[in-house]
Amino acid sequence: MKPQFLSLPEHVYNHLLDEIVRGVRPAGAKLTEESICVELGVSRTPAREALMRLHRDGLVDRLPRRGCFVKGFDPAELAELFQCRIWVEALALEQGFEHIPDTELARLEKNLRGPLTEETSLQADDELHALIVGACPNRPLREFARQLLTRTRPMRFWRTYGQAPLKGVSKERLQIVRAIRKGDKPAAVRLLQEHIDHGRKLMLKLAAEQAANETDA
């Protein structure tokens, strides 16, 4: 397989996405072309293209005459995003069920059975959802599902890092993988929906707790 080389806009996009996901750039943080150019040593064009892509992916707000800011999420929007993922990813799994490579599933199952750190747990989550979405033969559905995954990745990161027991989350993923490998489509779809819904409930709980703390303060 040939090595994959990223264009400069893609490199800038991935760098900013990683910092948003990890909370280095929290909700409300301002992003400017100038600061990105200085920080990454690039021209304004790749910085502008990266910001436009982050805006399209729903991770950045563009406010007239004010600039770009890392997008925050309210509980209602969180609920809608995760509910949408439940519907869209379940449909993607149904459509592409027979096309998911068993060799990749076997490798993922082996990794999920072993000891996991927070980093490898998040990587396993990325790989599982990428396999499911990538096997979907319907391109518009596949692209929309990928956009939802990108948009909710900050929440999936927070869920993994200190917010949910790794063993429990990994067990959910392992059950999904095994159901797919057994060819049990109804079980795999149900387990996937339950897995995403558990994340939805946890994020809503965290959002409510954060709102309560802000009120008390």
Looking at 22-134, list the stretches that DSSP marks H as alpha helix, in order from N- to C-terminal side.
33-40, 44-56, 75-96, 102-113, 118-134
pLDDT score recorded for residue 58: 79
Task: Give the tens place of pLDDT for each residue, 80-102.
Answer: 989 999 999 999 999 999 999 99
Asked if 177 contacts 108 with a C-beta cutoff of 8 angstroms, the reply is: yes
Of 97, 126, 199, 108, residue with least CA distance to 158: 199
Q: Among candidates 110, 214, 200, 217, which has minimal Cα distance to 158?
A: 200
Residue intervals in the chain for CATH 1.20.120.530: 75-216
The tens place of each residue's pLDDT in the chain, 217 residues long, gives: 334 556 888 889 889 988 887 778 888 899 999 999 999 999 999 999 999 988 888 788 898 888 899 987 777 888 898 999 999 999 999 999 999 999 999 999 998 988 878 778 888 888 999 999 999 999 999 999 998 988 887 777 766 655 556 677 788 999 999 999 999 999 999 999 999 998 888 878 776 766 666 555 5
- Helix 139-160 with 166-182: angle, nearest 10 deg: 150
> Which tokens belong to 96?
């592409």
Q: How many CB atoms lie within 10 A of CB 127?
A: 18
Token pair 């449909």: residue? 91
pLDDT at 191: 97
Q: What is the pLDDT of residue 2?
A: 38
> Torsion angle, CA of 179/180/186/191, rounded to 10 degrees?
60
Predicted pLDDT of residue 3: 40
CATH code for the structural domain at 75-216 = 1.20.120.530
| CATH tag, 8-70 | 1.10.10.10
The per-residue pLDDT for 216 is: 59
Q: What is the pLDDT of residues 108-138, one digit of tens each?
A: 999 898 887 877 888 888 899 999 999 999 9
* 62 closest CA partner among 39, 30, 87: 30
CB burial of 29-58 (b: ≥16 within 10 Å; e: otherwise) equals: eebebeebbeebebeeebbbbbbebbeebb
